Chains A and B, each alone.
Chain A
């Protein structure tokens, strides 16, 4: 026990004396969360709007007014003819053009139908879809108002095509917080553990440790414990930031969220151990944990791209990625507000992964140099 304690202390010395790495490890989650929370957001504000309005009646003016007051659009151009549309898009500033039909209000009142065309720059499809959705929703809301105001309640029934929550920024954070949690924890646990064991091999200190009564399990534990603590600090920062800064509430049970996270940390640490038992050099450990762990976490865990739409081979691979199960579980707890029984599957999968990985890496730990 004394050996283990001294070794954990030694490991903390390594971590804290490498100030740059430690700073990166502790600040990385904060930076990533702020980035995905604010900078990388699907929200589009202040889109420049061009309008062709041959009618200039009560309805079109009301719609333009609504578009402008929403905060998403600034009306910068009034066009004299639809032919100018191509020209304004070529200038590159305009994000959306709204073209009303002639005698808009009249048509709406008498036939119950009126056409409005929304044109967006398809060169950036994400942006185009987002702004047209906003506009559609705003126009639909005007139609709702008209409907309410009408005495008969029958004539101009046009239901909105798209229903959008009026908070795309929040939606972005909702999607990203579980993903960032998965990525950070995987990064710190797997990468740092594997690199720190590979460093002992590379610098030759492992040779000295092997020629000593030190038990392999102590060597492994002394590597795991410090990074376990670092991960818990990171977990706390991530949760605090997402609740208080990004306003992503923890809808479900905090207790089960922590259990799930601890389990995931164990799996990641075990993965790091497994990698370190296979490599001799720090650089190789870094590359393997970077390429073989981070890439699948980013692309196959459902963090950025929905796994459901992928070819079956990629779907199969995603099944064995621990981060996928963790992110699924976190979404269930944090966002859907579910609790224990509904995350049983995730807990079981992660639990068995942890057991298998730890068993394999203990077995693979080399008691000699080769």
Chain B
């Protein structure tokens, strides 16, 4: 049996449908990413799977235990890192770690090997109070605390939000190392660029899974023509591109706008002419390979067409 199996989980908060018929399975020792914007339902899903909330309908099992009936067993076996920093701010790094080791009826020494790589990075600050740590160090400490009892399944709710790029990389390196310990990791993130580091990803939007696949398959299956467009007036460009009848979608992607088209009836030269007629200069158009974010935007657009 897979360490995480979820069948048709739905959950409402009042009238808001936070989760709609979510089903998936995570395999032993894989990093399963749940990718989606804020408010998509990631935290609710994590809280249901960590037995903190009850689902309205559907069932799920973690490490073979039912999330409602066997919640006590699950609580012994999983590691959970909430989205918000939730350690004791007035305790030191070392004290936090030992408190959480005791909570899980173990000691820091027993599982030190597991956290060693990441703990060494914060060890110079072990006598500093957790509240005085930087964002990246806080998350590293939180990860250590979630790992201290060698959980079989690890739930990380947006572990890299508010973390500097270098610490983000450290955290992801750590997750990839943990995979080798055969720990199943469910990680949520709003950053599409982190999706490529997962073994499989689920794209979530408004409480619904749009797609579950490996990042490579997901981008390979992208069936549209995709161009990156740049000019001297980017905000005007966005509107102008959206007004072009052959352009299907157009989204701002950092320094360029990505546009999709169903067929190849429009050529780069034609588009260039169209744009310069509208007064754009320094126009640059080039075909690109789809990223996870392109897939996500494409799927969301399809979703709203329905």
Q: Residues on A close to B: CB < 8 A?
A: 2-3, 6-7, 10, 13-14, 17-18, 203-205, 207-214, 367-370
Q: Hey, which chain B residues are within 8 Å of A3, CB to CB?
A: 102-103, 105
**By the criterion CB–CB under 8 Å, are B95 and A13 in contact?**
yes
Q: Hey, which chain B residues are within 8 Å of A210, CB to CB?
A: 51-52, 75
From A2, A10, A207, A212, give the contact of B86 (CB < 8 A).
Answer: A207
**By the criterion CB–CB under 8 Å, are A208 and B91 in contact?**
no
Q: Hey, which chain B residues are within 8 Å of A204, CB to CB?
A: 82, 84-86
Cα–Cα, bound, A2→B101 (Å): 11
Give the interface SS of chain A, mostly helix, strand, loop or mixed: helix
Distance of A47 from chain B, by nearest CB (Å) = 53
**Is B88 part of the contact surface with A, judged by Cβ < 8 Å?**
yes
A3 closest partner in B (C-beta): B102
From B50, B76, B80, B84, give the contact of A213 (CB < 8 A).
Answer: B76
**Is B104 part of the contact surface with A, judged by Cβ < 8 Å?**
yes
Q: Which of the listed residues B52, B76, B90, B145 has the most CB atoms from chain A within 10 Å of its own CB?
A: B52
B89 closest partner in A (C-beta): A203
From B50, B89, B90, B102, give the contact of A211 (CB < 8 A).
Answer: B50
**By the criterion CB–CB under 8 Å, are B90 and A18 in contact?**
yes
> What are 30 A-B contacts with C-beta separation under 8 Å?
A2-B105, A3-B103, A3-B105, A6-B99, A7-B102, A7-B103, A13-B90, A18-B90, A203-B89, A204-B82, A204-B85, A205-B86, A205-B88, A207-B82, A207-B86, A208-B80, A208-B100, A208-B145, A209-B103, A211-B50, A211-B51, A211-B78, A212-B75, A213-B103, A213-B104, A213-B105, A367-B71, A368-B53, A369-B52, A369-B53
Q: B residues 74-127 with Cβ under 8 Å of A?
A: 75-76, 78, 80, 82, 84-91, 95, 98-100, 102-105
Q: Which of the listed residues A18, A209, A212, A367 has the most CB atoms from chain B within 10 Å of its own CB?
A: A212
Q: Hey, which chain A residues are within 8 Å of B197, CB to CB?
A: none
Q: Hey, which chain B residues are within 8 Å of A368, CB to CB?
A: 51-54
**By the criterion CB–CB under 8 Å, are B95 and A10 in contact?**
yes
**By the criterion CB–CB under 8 Å, are A14 and B103 in contact?**
no
Q: Hey, which chain A residues are within 8 Å of B71, CB to CB?
A: 367
Q: B residues 215-234 with Cβ under 8 Å of A?
A: none
Told that A214-B103, A368-B54 touch, could you supply 8 new A-B pairs with CB distance under 8 A?
A2-B105, A7-B99, A208-B87, A209-B103, A210-B51, A211-B51, A212-B75, A369-B52
**By the criterion CB–CB under 8 Å, are A211 and B95 in contact?**
no
On whether A208 and B86 interact (CB within 8 A), knowing A2-B102, A213-B104, the answer reads yes
* B interface residue count range (under 10 / 10 to 19 / 20 to 34 / 35 or more): 20 to 34
Distance of B222 from chain A, by nearest CB (Å) = 38
Distance of B103 from chain A, by nearest CB (Å) = 5
**By the criterion CB–CB under 8 Å, are B91 and A13 in contact?**
yes
Q: Hey, which chain A residues are within 8 Å of B47, CB to CB?
A: 369
- When A and B form their complex, which 5 residue pairs have the shortest distance between CB atoms, in order from nearest? A204-B86, A6-B102, A211-B80, A369-B52, A213-B76
Cα–Cα, bound, A102→B242 (Å): 110
**By the criterion CB–CB under 8 Å, are A212 and B104 in contact?**
yes
**Is B72 part of the contact surface with A, judged by Cβ < 8 Å?**
yes
A370 closest partner in B (C-beta): B53
**By the criterion CB–CB under 8 Å, are B75 and A10 in contact?**
no
Q: Which of the listed residues A17, A204, A208 has the most CB atoms from chain B within 10 Å of its own CB?
A: A208
Distance of B78 from chain A, by nearest CB (Å) = 7
Cα–Cα, bound, A370→B54 (Å): 9
From A2, A17, A207, A212, give the contact of B90 (CB < 8 A).
Answer: A17
Cα–Cα, bound, A6→B106 (Å): 12
Cα–Cα, bound, A208→B78 (Å): 11
Distance of A210 from chain B, by nearest CB (Å) = 6
Q: Hey, which chain B residues are within 8 Å of A14, CB to CB?
A: 88, 90-91
Interface string of B37-77 (1 = CB under 8 A from A): 00000000001001111100000000000000001100110
B99 closest partner in A (C-beta): A10
**By the criterion CB–CB under 8 Å, are A212 and B103 in contact?**
yes
Cα–Cα, bound, A208→B80 (Å): 7
Q: Hey, which chain B residues are within 8 Å of A7, CB to CB?
A: 99, 102-103
Q: Hey, which chain A residues are within 8 Å of B75, CB to CB?
A: 210-213
Cα–Cα, bound, A6→B82 (Å): 23
A207 closest partner in B (C-beta): B82
Cα–Cα, bound, A210→B50 (Å): 9
Q: Hey, which chain B residues are within 8 Å of A18, CB to CB?
A: 90
Cα–Cα, bound, A370→B102 (Å): 26
B80 closest partner in A (C-beta): A211
Q: Hey, which chain A residues are within 8 Å of B80, CB to CB?
A: 207-208, 211
Distance of A18 from chain B, by nearest CB (Å) = 7
Distance of B9 from chain A, by nearest CB (Å) = 15
**By the criterion CB–CB under 8 Å, are A10 and B88 in contact?**
yes
Q: Hey, which chain A residues are within 8 Å of B53, CB to CB?
A: 368-370
Distance of B82 from chain A, by nearest CB (Å) = 5
Cα–Cα, bound, A13→B52 (Å): 27
Distance of A223 from chain B, by nearest CB (Å) = 14
**By the criterion CB–CB under 8 Å, are A208 and B82 in contact?**
yes
Q: B residues 122-171 with Cβ under 8 Å of A?
A: 145
B85 closest partner in A (C-beta): A204
From A10, A17, A213, give the contact of B72 (CB < 8 A).
Answer: A213
B72 closest partner in A (C-beta): A213
Cα–Cα, bound, A265→B154 (Å): 42
Cα–Cα, bound, A211→B155 (Å): 11
Q: Hey, which chain B residues are within 8 Å of A369, CB to CB?
A: 47, 52-53
B129 closest partner in A (C-beta): A17
Q: Which of the listed residues B50, B53, B76 has the most CB atoms from chain A within 10 Å of its own CB?
A: B50
From A2, A203, A211, A213, give the contact of B52 (CB < 8 A).
Answer: A211
Cα–Cα, bound, A214→B98 (Å): 14
Q: Hey, which chain B residues are within 8 Å of A367, CB to CB?
A: 71
Q: Hey, which chain A residues are within 8 Å of B86, CB to CB?
A: 203-205, 207-208
Q: Hey, which chain A residues are within 8 Å of B98, CB to CB?
A: 6
Cα–Cα, bound, A353→B171 (Å): 51
